[in-house]
Amino acid sequence: MKKYFLLTPGPTPVPPEVSSAEAQPILHHRTSEFGKIFVEVIEGMKYVFQTKNDVLMVTGSGTAAMEAAVVNLLSAGDEVIVASCGNFGDRWENICNAYGVKVHKIAVEWGQAINPKDIENLLKQNKNIKAVFTTHTETSTGIVNDIEAIGKIVKNTDAVLVVDTVSGLVNQKFLTDEWNVDVAVTGSQKGLMCPPGLSFATVSSKAWQLVEKSTLPKFYLDFKKMRKSIDNKETPFTPAVSLVVAIHKAIEIIKEKTLQKIWEDTEKLAKATRAAIKAMGLKIFCDEKHISNVVTPISMPEGIDGQKVVKTLREEFGVSIAGGQGKLRGKIVRIAHMGYIDKTDLVVGISFLEVVLKRFGVNIEIGSGTKAFQQVLEE
Ligand code: PMP
User: Residue 85, CB half-sphere, CA atoms under 13 Å: how many?
Assistant: 26
Are 112 and 79 in a shared domain? Answer: yes
Render pLDDT for 91-146 as a digit per residue (tens, 0 to 9).
Answer: 999 999 999 999 999 999 999 999 999 999 999 999 999 999 999 999 999 999 99
Are 54 and 151 in a shared domain? Answer: yes
CATH number, domain containing residue 331: 3.90.1150.10
Q: Which residue ranges have their beta carbon within 6 Å of ligand 1?
A: 10, 61-63, 88, 135, 139, 164, 166-167, 187, 196
pLDDT value of residue 2? 83
> Is the bond preceding 239 in cis, omega lying within 30 degrees of 0?
no
Are 102 and 236 in a shared domain? Answer: yes
- C-beta of residue 150 within 8 angstroms of C-beta of residue 132: yes
Q: Is 262 left (phi over 0), alpha (psi -120 to 50) or beta?
A: alpha
Are 224 and 296 in a shared domain? Answer: no
CA of 162 from ligand 1 middle (Å) equals 15
pLDDT value of residue 210? 98
CA distance 84 to 21: 37
| Helix-strand-coil split of the chain, %, nearest 5 | 45, 15, 40
pTM over cut 0.95: yes
- Using the CB atoms, write b or e for 78-110: b if 16+ within 10 Å: bbbbbbbbbbbbbbbbebbeebebebbbbebeb
pLDDT value of residue 120? 98
CATH number, domain containing residue 97: 3.40.640.10
Residue ranges making up the domain that contains 336: 5-10+258-377
Contact partners, residue 177, CB within 8 Å, separation at least 6: 50, 51, 52, 53
CA of 164 from ligand 1 middle (Å) equals 8
> What is the position in ligand 1's atom list of the atom closest to the CA of 139?
5
Nearest Cα neighbor of 142 from 189, 169, 110, 117 is 110
pLDDT value of residue 378? 95
pLDDT value of residue 1? 79
- Report the nearest-CA residue for atom 6 of ligand 1: 166
Are 211 and 337 in a shared domain? Answer: no
Domain stop point among 230, 256, 282: 256
Are 37 and 52 in a shared domain? Answer: yes
> What is the position in ligand 1's atom list of the atom closest to the CA of 10?
8
Residue 235 is inside which H or E element, if any? none
Are 221 and 252 in a shared domain? Answer: yes
Domain stop point among 256, 282, 299: 256
- C-beta of residue 6 within 8 angstroms of C-beta of residue 317: no
By most ligand atoms within 8 Å of CB, the mutation choice from 6, 58, 63, 320 for ligand 1 is 63
Domain stop point among 227, 256, 285: 256
Q: What's 253's DSSP letter?
A: H
Which portions of the chain are predicted below pLDDT 70?
none
Counting the structural domains of the chain, the total is 2
Are 20 and 110 in a shared domain? Answer: yes
- Using the CB atoms, write b or e for 305-338: b if 16+ within 10 Å: ebeebbebbbeebebbbbbbbeebebbbbbbbbb
CA of 171 from ligand 1 middle (Å) equals 15
- Report the nearest-CA residue for atom 12 of ligand 1: 62
